[in-house]
Structure 1
Amino acid sequence: MTTTQPSGPAPAGAGDEAAVLAELTGMIEQVLEGYELDDTEITMETRFGRDLELESIDLVTLAGLLQDRYGSAVNFAEFVASMELEEIIELSVGRLVEHVCLCLKAEGRD
């Protein structure tokens, strides 16, 4: 996997799903650095638990990267807290991408 580290303000069109997916993929790859998942393709359908085998500490790391990238516009902890356990277990990259896009649009950063 290649690792990218998003930084700075969100670019124009940050509410675009393709752009957010690309940024989120870089963050996930950064979290997964050192894991043996080099052949795993990250798509909108990829599940954090089942496909990427992320543990709770990995999600905390991802939450920190989201905070660094998007600031208070995207609150991962609040997003997850609104879910039932089964939803958390089945959380997909696509659902998080949609959440980020909605948050950025609400902040006027689309």
Structure 2
Amino acid sequence: MTDVLSEVVRMLTDVVGEDFLLDVEVGPDTSFGDDLALESIEFVALVDRLRAHYGDRVDFPAFIAGLDLDQLINLTVGDVVDHITAAERAHA
């Protein structure tokens, strides 16, 4: 899980820029909305990077589509990491 977390944080840094994350310690409980104030275009860019890295075995469109509005608004880095980890375990 820590490898996946590190990879997600690295990709997030690539998307929003290192300067943006200087004041934020990103961890599993970090929310994309409240904590990071991620714009939708930035979230889409992050998902594109994750899809390019993890491929179709980690179905991000289905994951996002399966969330209700509250879950989407409160989505955390840990939620994404958990999804990736579970999908990789299922395809192992």
Q: TM (normalized to structure 1)?
A: 0.78
Q: Go from structure 1 to structure 2 and tell me whether the alpha carbon gap of 1:19 and 1:37 turns closer, same or farther (over 3 Å shift).
A: closer
The Cα RMSD (Å) is 1.3
Size of the aligned set, in residue pairs, is: 92
Q: Residue 48 of structure 1 aligns with which residue?
A: 32
Local SS of the residue matching 2:49: helix
The one of 30, 42, 45 aligned to 2:14:
30
The C-alpha deviation readout for 1:62-86, integer Å capped at 9, x for no partner, is 1110111111011222111101101
Q: Percent identity at matched positions?
A: 37
Quote the offset at 1:38 in angstroms. 1.7
Q: Go from structure 1 to structure 2 and tell me whether the alpha carbon gap of 1:35 and 1:88 turns closer, same or farther (over 3 Å shift).
A: farther
Distance 1:37 1:44 in 2: 15
Highest Rg: 1 or 2? 1
Distance 1:98 1:36 in 2: 24
Q: Match of 1:104, as an amino acid?
A: E
Q: Which has the higher helix share?
A: 2
Structure 2: unaligned runs, 5 residues or longer? none
Structure 1: unaligned runs, 5 residues or longer? 1-16
Q: Where do 4+ consecutive residues of structure 1 move more than 4 Å?
A: none
Of 70-79 and 83-92, more deviation after overlay is shown by 70-79
Distance 1:84 1:35 in 2: 31
Of 80-89 and 33-42, more deviation after overlay is shown by 33-42
